[in-house]
Amino acid sequence: MSKLVLFNDVTTDNDESNLLIGNCDIQANKEGFSQSDIIVEQFYKNCEFDIHLVYSSDALRVKKIVHKLRVKSKDQSITSSSVRRLVGLRERDFGVLNNTPIHFDSDIFSHSRIKPEKGESVFECRVRSVDCIVKILNKNKNIVVLSHPFLCQIFFNAILQKDHTLLTEFWQLKGSYVIMDYEFGSYGIKWNFLNANNTLSNTTYTQDQIYSNILGKQRTFSI
């Protein structure tokens, strides 16, 4: 089976207030810079396979995580290959509300079809991100994908065939990743969860713990 590593974003000042700003490129805060160092170090402790390609959002703070992955890697396939930055891995587009701090209780999160002016709905964001990642997996093996918590959760829920509006504590904490096996078959993609790590909770999850510790901690709000 091939490997997919799904990397989450790191912390910004907005995260401390449970605010989203949509498709905007704000800087990681001091905690976020520390998270990126820790998560890269933890990843290489658990990575026992070669990585063929790296895909990422084009947000600056995400590109800095990619840089640290390349600098600390002993795998020539990472250090010598170019990183592919895809629009499909960007945060949700809030349109005219981009760069406006929005609390999770806002009406634009209350239903998957609500669409901010000139932005995209949760449903449209899901279609865009899942389509992007599936195309990546269909053409390549042993992939690292770096994106944002909203997109990570959407894709994670799509894998698990769960409601795509449910956000779990694992992705919301940021500074995290999940390693999965996958293979394409006649009935779609077959998945096997290997391990995961979260820097804020300082926890490494095994395969047996993933369902209870990651998927079982849904927040009180929905996205």
For 9-46, the pLDDT digits (tens) are 988 887 766 677 888 888 888 888 888 998 888 888 87
Check residue 146 and give its pLDDT: 92
How do beta strands 218-222 and 166-168 pair?
Answer: antiparallel
Beta bridge partner(s), residue 184: 189
Q: Is 119's pLDDT higher than 90? A: yes
Provide the greatest CA pair distance for the chain. Answer: 47
- Containing 102, the helix (H) or strand (E) segment is strand 102-103
Question: pLDDT at position 42, please?
Answer: 86
Band of residue 162 on the pLDDT scale cut at 50, 70, 90: low
Q: Which of 157, 173, 147, 156 is nearest to 59 (CA)?
A: 147
Provide the pLDDT for residue 208.
Answer: 62
Instruction: Determine contact, residues 53/140, Cβ cutoff 8 Å.
Output: yes
Q: How far apart are CA 44 and CA 127, in angstroms?
A: 31
- Look at residue 213 and tell me whether its pLDDT is greater than 60: no
Q: Domains of the chain by range and CATH?
A: 6-145+153-222 (3.40.50.1240)
H helices within 47-97, ranges in order?
Answer: 60-72, 76-79
Pick the range with the lowest mean pLDDT from 144-148, 179-183, 217-221: 217-221
Residue 51 and residue 19: Cα distance in Å, rounded? 34
In sequence order, which residues have a C-beta less than 8 Å from that of residue 50 and are 6 or more positions away?
75, 77, 142
Structural contact between residues 167 and 219, judged by C-beta atoms closer than 8 angstroms: yes
pTM assigned to the model: 0.83
The residue among 122, 136, 124 whose CA lies nearest residue 56 is 136
Q: Is the pLDDT of residue 98 over 70?
A: yes
In Å, what is the CA distance from 113 to each residue of 110, 126, 131, 150? 9, 11, 18, 16
Q: Does pLDDT of 74 surpass 70?
A: no
